[in-house]
Structure 1
C-alpha cells in the first residue's frame, strides 16, 4: 500500500480513498540481493497477478507489481497523475535500498513507463492537457536505470486512433454509417485496397481531432470544468481482419474476440471517460503519453521485446519503439507469443530469462 497525492473530486467513489488516497501493489522480495528490482505497472490493469511476477522472483529478483489509482477503470484516468502514482512505487524501492530499478512496460504499461522516465529525467509538466495545475516535483519521480518494453502499443491515443471507426457519421448516433469508410461493410472486404486504406487512416485521425475539439468545448462550457464523454465504435483497425497489413504470426480478430462484435460492445476501448480524461489519455493532439516520443527523450538502456502472434500490438508498433531508442536498444523477438502468453509457460520462462540476462 503506497500513499499517493490527492486527485480530482469523485476520482473514486470511495470516500476513504478520496480523503486518504492509496495505490496498491504486490511486493515480492526473495531477499537474495539489493542489486536490482523490477517494476510492473499499467495505467488501469491490475498487474499484481502478472505472469512475470513468480518467474522473476524464482530467479532471485525482487518484483513490485503495482497499480495506479485508476486500477479497474480508465473513466477518469489522467496520465500525468498516473506517473505520480508510479513515482510512489519507485520511491518505495529506493527506500528499500535497491541499487538498480528496471521498469517493465508491458502492453499499455509501455507508454506509462516511457512517459514516467521522460519526466523523471527532466521534469517539464506543470499542468494537465486541460490546463489544470498538477503538483509534480522532481523528488516525486525517481528515475529508473533501465526500461524494458514488452508487447507494448505506442500509447492510448495512438491505439484508439488506429481503432476508431471512421464510418461514424454522428457521435450522438452510433448506428449512422458511411459505408464507403466501413471496414465491415460488404463493399469493403479483406485484403483491403491500399489507396482506400490511406484514406481510412486519414479519416481516423480526423475523427480523433473532432473528438478532441468536442472535449475542449465541453470543458470550456461545463460548470465544473469537465463533463461525461462517450466514444462509440472503437474497434475498427483493418489489421484485425486483413493479415496482409503489417503481417505477423497473429490470427484474425481482436484480443477480446471477433473485431466486428467488439467494435459495438457497450464497454469497448475508450468508450466511457470524462472530457479532461479524454484529452490526457485518448487525444492524439494533446496527450503527453505517446510512448516512443517520450522514449526518445530518455537516456537509459532499452530492451524492446515483440511477440510475433500478438493480435493487439503489431510489428510496426515494435519498430517504432526501436527507432525511438536507436543506439541504446536491444531487440528480442518471442516467437509464437500472443498478447497474453501466460497459457504458454515455456514462453513466459523465455521472457523472464531474457529480462534477467539483460537487466541483471
Structure 2
C-alpha cells in the first residue's frame, strides 16, 4: 500500500487575524503519496463540518492524488457564517495548493459543501454573489478568487436554503414554543400519513416555503429595528428541523434508504430535539445561509456557470440527500463533460464495508483521463 505523508496547514485569512492563542483561522491537513508532490490535488470544504480528516483523504492519496481537507474559520460555528468570507478562505487553500506545484485543482463538494463549492466556482468565474443583508458590498477579496479545474459532487444537496426548507416542520405555529403544532400540517399525525397523498404533499411543501419566508421577514424586521442602536444582531433558535416527508415515506423520491429514519435517528424524536442544522443562528447569518430570498448558498444559480468537467456521486441509501438532488445537480450544470453515478452506501459511505474504497476507485477512474499526475 502506498505510504502517505500528512502536513498540517495553518494559514491566515484576509478577513481575520491569527488568534491570540496562536491558531490560524484557516486550517487543514494535506495528504500526499509519500515523498511525492502531486500535480493534481483535491480540496474539500464545508460550511461548518471539519473536513481535515475527510474519509476520502487517505484513499485518494493512496491513488496518487493530493487531498487538502480544508476548514474555513466557520468550522463548528455556522451560526456566524458569511458566504463571501468563506469563499475567500476556500481560496486561501487553493492558492496554497498552487504554491505547492499543483497544476490542477479539483473541488469536492461533499454534502452541504456541494453548494459551497458551486458558489466558489461561480464567483471565481464572474463575481455574482450578493452582499449580506444590510451591507453595501461583498468582501473585496471575494471579487478575485483563484480558479479551479474540475468539480466532484459527493452526496451533495442543492443548497442550504432548499435543504433546510424541505426539512423544516411547517406545522410550527409559534417559533418560541417547540411544542406548538398545527395538526393539519403535522407529518407525524397518523391521520396525515404515511403514505402521504399528493394533496397533502403539495400543502406541506407550500407551508414549508411559507415558514422560510416568514422567518426571513422576521429577521429583516429585527435587523431594521436595531438600526442606530449599539446591537447590530442577535442569536435566535429555530425549532423542529427534521421533518422532510421523505424521512418516513419511501414512496416519495424512492431510493434504498431506510425509513423511518433521518441523520439524527428516529425522525419525530430528532425533530423535537435540540440537535440539527440551523437550530441556532444569528439574524444576519440566517439570511445569508438559509433564506430562500436572500441566500446565495445554493447550487442552482451557480450551476449555470458550472463549465468544469463534473462528476456527481450519489449514495443509493442516503437518508437526507435524495436521487432528485443528484439529478438536479447533473441537469442544472452547463458542463458538456459530466457524469452521474449512483453507488451503494449511506450519506458518508460508512456502509457497506467496501463502500468508501469503491467511491475512491470511482473518483480515481474518472480523474485519470482528465488530470496530470
What TM-score do you get using the length of structure 1 for normalisation?
Answer: 0.93
Pair 1:242-2:249 in alignment: yes
Q: C-alpha deviations, 1:210-235, integer Å up to 9, x for none?
A: 00011111111223321222211111
Q: C-alpha deviations, 1:149-172, integer Å up to 9, x for none?
A: 010011111110001111111112
**Shift in Å, 1:50:** 1.1
Q: Is the 8 A contact 2:314 2:342 kept in 1?
A: yes
Pair 344,218 (structure 1): closer, same or farther in 2 beyond 3 Å: same
Pair 182,80 (structure 1): closer, same or farther in 2 beyond 3 Å: same
CA distance in 2, matches of 1:139, 1:319: 30
Pair 1:104-2:111 in alignment: no
Q: Is the 8 A contact 1:6 1:21 kept in 2?
A: no
Q: Is the 8 A contact 2:84 2:139 kept in 1?
A: no
Pair 1:330-2:330 in alignment: no
1:119-158 paired onto structure 2 within 5 Å: 119-125=123-129, 127-131=131-135, 133-137=137-141, 141-158=145-162
Of the candidates 228, 248, 258, which is equivalent to residue 251 of structure 1? 258
Pair 1:229-2:236 in alignment: yes
Partner of 2:55, secondary structure, is coil
Pair 1:357-2:356 in alignment: no
**Shift in Å, 1:298:** 2.6
Q: Is the 8 A contact 2:318 2:347 kept in 1?
A: yes
**Shift in Å, 1:41:** 1.0
Equivalent in the alignment of 1:11: none
**Shift in Å, 1:16:** 2.5
Pair 1:88-2:88 in alignment: no
Equivalent in the alignment of 1:282: 290
Of the candidates 44, 48, 57, which is equivalent to residue 44 of structure 1? 48
CA distance in 2, matches of 1:110, 1:181: 30
Deviates more, 1:61-70 or 1:132-141: 132-141
Of the candidates 175, 192, 202, which is equivalent to residue 171 of structure 1? 175
Deviates more, 1:165-174 or 1:101-110: 165-174
Q: Is the 8 A contact 1:126 1:136 kept in 2?
A: no
Q: Is the 8 A contact 2:263 2:320 kept in 1?
A: yes
Q: Which runs of 5+ in 2 are unaligned?
A: 1-9, 369-373
What TM-score do you get using the length of structure 2 for normalisation?
Answer: 0.90
Q: C-alpha deviations, 1:161-215, integer Å up to 9, x for none?
A: 0011111111122222110000011221210111111010000000000000111
Q: C-alpha deviations, 1:81-119, integer Å up to 9, x for none?
A: 211110100010111121100011010110110000000
CA distance in 2, matches of 1:69, 1:88: 12
CA distance in 1, matches of 2:44, 2:30: 10
**Shift in Å, 1:296:** 1.8
Pair 1:29-2:37 in alignment: no
Equivalent in the alignment of 1:2: 11
Q: Is the 8 A contact 2:88 2:141 kept in 1?
A: no
Deviates more, 1:135-144 or 1:277-286: 135-144
**Shift in Å, 1:138:** 6.1
Aligned-CA RMSD value: 2.0
Q: Which runs of 5+ in 1 are unaligned?
A: 9-13
CA distance in 2, matches of 1:220, 1:51: 43
Partner of 1:226, secondary structure, is coil
CA distance in 1, matches of 2:43, 2:357: 17
Q: How many residues of Structure 1 are paired with residues of Structure 2 in the alignment?
A: 353
**Shift in Å, 1:140:** 5.0
Partner of 1:209, secondary structure, is helix
Q: C-alpha deviations, 1:120-161, integer Å up to 9, x for none?
A: 111234622342533233675211100100100111111100
Pair 1:271-2:292 in alignment: no
